Each structure stands twice: as structure tokens, then as C-alpha cells.
Amino acid sequence: MEKNIYIVLTNTGTLFSRAIGVYTRKELNHASIAFDEQLNEMYSFGRKNKNNPFVGGFIKENTMEGLFKRATCAIYKCHVTLQEYNQMQDKIRHMEQQKELYKYNLIGLFGLAMNIEIERQYAFFCSQFVATVMNECNLSDLHIPPCFMQPHHFEQLSSLEIMYKGCLQTYVKTKRPQEERIQVRSWEQRGFQIQA
């Protein structure tokens, strides 16, 4: 049986994202992995609080709020076996259960910029994390070590098929039932934070 995973590259327009863009000279500088087409189960390493870029780690991302509200994106689909899909989900579940241990690998970003391999057990930057999870299924065309993986490298993988490019909110609105979008908007108007 075959399943799909989704690699989501985004530009949130933050100062940090723009700074990375100056180095990479690429538009999309954040990478996430999702296990459903609607992006309800989307994970990465990034800021834990939208107002504080200095506290980061493992996060389950909500495409309907925060920095994603104005994001542009490219969404890629990758076919995997059920066993590979389950292996990747197990890795995510394990990290989620121990998420307090995980930190954002800012030191690793400096290593990447200087072409020095820096691996830290409980620290990842976004594209390093996605590549590490994908390595659970030994994708044959993932030739770059995770510590050197940048978001634009995913665009070059033959195992990935482009599904969509454009405004993230436009994509989400076409994939999620209208009742769900209305319910989320209604709760947000009352001042509640919705966690996906």
C-alpha cells in the first residue's frame, strides 16, 4: 500500500526568514513535513512563540494562524510505502513526546554557512529536521547529509512532485471543509488560540 507525505517550503516574510534568504538567495526558506494533504499534521523546527524568534524547537505547525497567514509556499508530494510512512510518523511521535528536549539548531546554521558538519543530538534547524525524518525511509535521492540540507535542496529531489505554488492560505482553503474554516475563524474572533 502506498501513502503520501508532503514537503512544504514557505516564506513567512519574517526578519529571520529574510536574513536566511540573503544567504541562500532563495525565496522559500522554511521547510516542514506533513502527513496529510490538508496539512493538519505538519511539523518542523522553528519559533515556539510567533513574537519571539529566539526560543525555538520542535513544533506542530498550524497553517491557519500566526506567521503562516501571509506565507507563500511550494508544496511537494512524495510517495512512500505504508511501512516508510509509519516509520516517519513513529519518529515524529517520539520527538513529540520528548519535545522539551529539542532546541533550534542555530549553531548548526552557522556550521552550514561555513561548510562545517555540526550534528547535535537534540537540536535541528527546519530543513535538517525534515531531511532526518525522510532518512527514516532511506530515500535514494537524498544525497546531502541532513546538517547541510537547505530548503531549496528539496526542490531538486526526483522523488518529490510539485503540487502547488502560491499563497498558503489559498491552498489550505481549497483543501479543508468550509465548516472547519468557519469554526476556526469563529473561535479566533472570541480570542481563543486554536491548536491543530
Residue 154 is predicted with a pLDDT of 95
In a domain, 36, yes or no: yes
Mean residue pLDDT of the chain comes to 86
Is the model more confident about 142 or about 179? Answer: 142
Please check whether residue 7 lies inside any domain of the structure: yes
Residue 132 lies in a domain: yes
Residue 195 lies in a domain: no
Residue 126's pLDDT is what?
A: 95
> Looking at the chain, which runs of residues are DSSP E strands?
2-11, 30-34, 42-49, 52-61, 72-81, 103-104, 123-124, 160-167
Give the CATH number of the domain where residue 109 resides. 3.90.1720
Confidence (pLDDT) at 92 = 96
Sorted by sequence, the CB contacts under 8 Å of residue 93 that are 6+ apart come out as none
Tell me whether residue 62 is in a domain. Answer: yes
pLDDT tens digit sequence for 62-117: 999 888 999 999 999 999 999 999 999 999 999 999 999 999 998 998 898 899 99
Does 183 have pLDDT greater than 70? no
**What percent of the chain clears pLDDT 90, i.e. is strictly above it?**
62
pLDDT winner (highest mean) among 43-52, 112-121, 154-163: 154-163
Query: Taking a C-beta distance cutoff of 8 angstroms, is the pair 110, 147 a contact?
Result: no
Please check whether residue 66 lies inside any domain of the structure: yes
Q: Is the pLDDT of residue 187 over 50?
A: no
- 55, part of any domain: yes
**pLDDT band at residue 1 under the 50/70/90 scheme:** confident
Tell me, rounded to whole angstroms, the distance of Cα 45 from its chain centroid: 7
Is the residue at 196 inside a domain?
Answer: no
pTM confidence score: 0.85
How many structural domains are present in the chain? 1
